[in-house]
Structure 1
Amino acid sequence: MITRLDLRGRTLSNRELVAALPRAAVDVDAATHLVTPILDAVRTQGAAALRDLAERFDGVRPVHLRVPPEALAGVLAGLAPEVRAALEEAIRRVRAVHVAQRPADFRVELAPGAVVRQRWVAVGRVGLYVPGGLAVYPSSVVMNVVAAQEAGVPSLAVASPPQRENGGLPNATVLAACALLGVDEVYAVGGAQAIAMFAYGAVGSEPIDGAWLCEPVDVITGPGNVYVAAAKRLVRGIVGIDSEAGPTEIAILADAGADPVHVAADLVSQAEHDPMAAAVLVTDSVELAGAVEAKLKDRVEGTRHAARVLIALSGPQSAIVLVDDLEQGLAVVDAYGAEHLEIQTVGAAALAERVRSAGAIFVGPYSPVSLGDYMAGSNHVLPTGGCAHFSSGLGVHSFVKAVQVIEYDSAALAEVADRIVALANAEDLPAHGEAVRARF
């Protein structure tokens, strides 16, 4: 069901280690050739193209590309009480964490009359994408919207694929989550075409609203499939993006003391997302490896999405990796740079402080990834495919930009004038120095 990779007794460079570890093969470059005409169609044809593409890819031609206000109110009124309570608690927790993420402005006085300040400014408008393929993700609405709201973004829109079973509107629970958060600009648009709509804007005619317009955004965030990733790559530079999200992944660093039931359950929980989902166990215990393999068989047979879980666990992106000790295990998980990293070892908290590359770290046996998906308060939109080596998960920082403000008086500028002239001449840009001299 799941392969073993034995790294015991081997000394590998970081490059060799990265090459040896399992990883889902996602060819974003190949997808760009399919996505480019979609982007062009939306850019030139607007809403008409969005309806055509929905019919082609989603099997339904939406009557309303923008979800009517009464539809949002209706799904919220009909939301099951236990689901509403769970969403409200998730919102409360995520908001509390993201309030604390707000970066602080600063002011530095370098000399009398020489001041540099930095202030953080929210972008003006964001487009938040919520996927709707094998599963639906109201939790992703919470993660994207709360982060943008706490950053102070004044205008935000959500897009999610139209569902044939919901009359061409997005999933009802996704819409209810939008309504709970006060989001009234929601579009029944999915896939690469949603990314194009956000990047270029789209104009058309809506039978209920008269003139209809989706204004372009400044930043696009949210996970999606390889076509969404390819679209985000193509529009990057026109807009900002959070990342090119790939298949979800979990890595678990565990020792002999870990409970194999917990480990197997957590591997299966990620594998149920997608047949390309990656599930990796790194352990120095052959006994634990064997016990987890046995528990996986039982759990896969009993889970609802057994077929896709089995494909994910059997694929080249998943493995049990045997290491000599936890030091080697730490090097392995750092090289892997997992979207989600669980540490179920003796001294897990101390090991977690030494990890450099992970989207989010879950410490101890009672911090499963499922907690972070819904209720931990952390954000579950995280870097995949090794991008944790250089990027962070979604947060307030994804929606703000730093603006430096420079204010010198005459005496403060005069103090450094000769040095500015010297550097300007050294770079053969004499007019730079002359612009300073002209003030005296």
Structure 2
Amino acid sequence: MKTIEYHQFGEQLFVEKLANGLTVYLQPKRGFHKTIATLGVNYGSVDSQFNLAGKLISQPAGIAHFLEHKMFDKKDYDVFELFNQTGASANAYTSFTNTNYLFSTAGNLKKNLMILLDFVQIPYFTEEKVTREKGIIDQEINMYRNDAGNRIYFQTVADLYPKSPLALDIAGSVDSVSQITLADVQTAYQTFYRPENMALFITGNLDPVETLDWIKENQKQKPAASPIDVTRHVPIPAAAREAIHQHSMQITRPKVAVGIRGDDVVPTGRAGVKYEMAISMMLDLFFSETAATYDDLYQDGVIDDSFSWEFENERTFHFALLSADSDNPDEFITKIHRVIDQIPEKLPELTAAFELQKRELYGNYIEMMDSQEAISGQFNGFLGEPVTIYDEVDILNRLSLEDVLRITETFLKSSTIQSEIIRAKA
């Protein structure tokens, strides 16, 4: 078992790749009573097309999310019932690129860990259960379709990445879900739910040697599968350089969003984390509540407390999204564009603000180190090298304003900007 030392914080990360390909990451937190375990699968909604043994497989949109739901439904019980019996809290979620299964517990770690590993690695699929699940997911899709915040987010992403898997909701559509067959589910599972395509991260009240022994014993029953020849196929066609899209819903106040798609190549590993951190800090320097440009927009009535921004940096794509409720969405778009155009010129002048932002972000990281939820949420085991919250602090400490300017210029130079407005339906 390899040990990674974080001497500055007195923390350790224990790492071992098991014989069947599963990589295990263990981070004990002394003095903590709770433990969180996350079993991640490097498979998400964008992976609906792939080459398998030289043949292109195209599956219905939403199948990764559908599969996540099906994992909990066994022959004669629901997995949530097993976790409830031990006092654990369990959950799962699917993103564009990953599916994660997790539990949180203050006791019975071994039992809960066995439940987690077994229910994800021992599937139970039938025609009847696949058919029944479609109705459940249809209800979920319809619920989110009526949520204006959810709609403007996914519509912006769809227009940033037209005719790509990103143009479809993570859950798919009612039509695409209706097309999912038992054979589709089995193919997706056998292709991506393989130990070598998974990572298990556990943090909290644990003994790393004892915990690893439990995992190894469990995984002896799940040997490595025969090698397969699989290549993901995630087409990302070009989008219009700049456009405004308009929609209507039953809402009381218009919603507006500006999306910025980067078409530059983002490095992998910690260099990719540095890229993401640089763009996030740039956005903070211009759009956080302490920024002068934010104050100008606020005083002009262009934005209010509903304004927010986010930056997504994932496998094969990255974009920023700025959104708000606005009585004048056209003005919002115009002035946000104006700020974006000025960023490369004004960024070098923000040395003092940048240093202050770094100190604030450093304080946020220190605070997160006392939260297993934050530690678990920040961990990424699919970057070619593990990246923990402690690695992010090291990257932050080394980040300069020159780095932020260089990365920002690269991001904006080749960017595509799409804007969305949802107005109240007449």
TM-score normalised over the length of structure 2: 0.30
Q: Which has the larger radius of gyration?
A: 1
Structure with bigger strand share is 2
TM-score normalised over the length of structure 1: 0.29
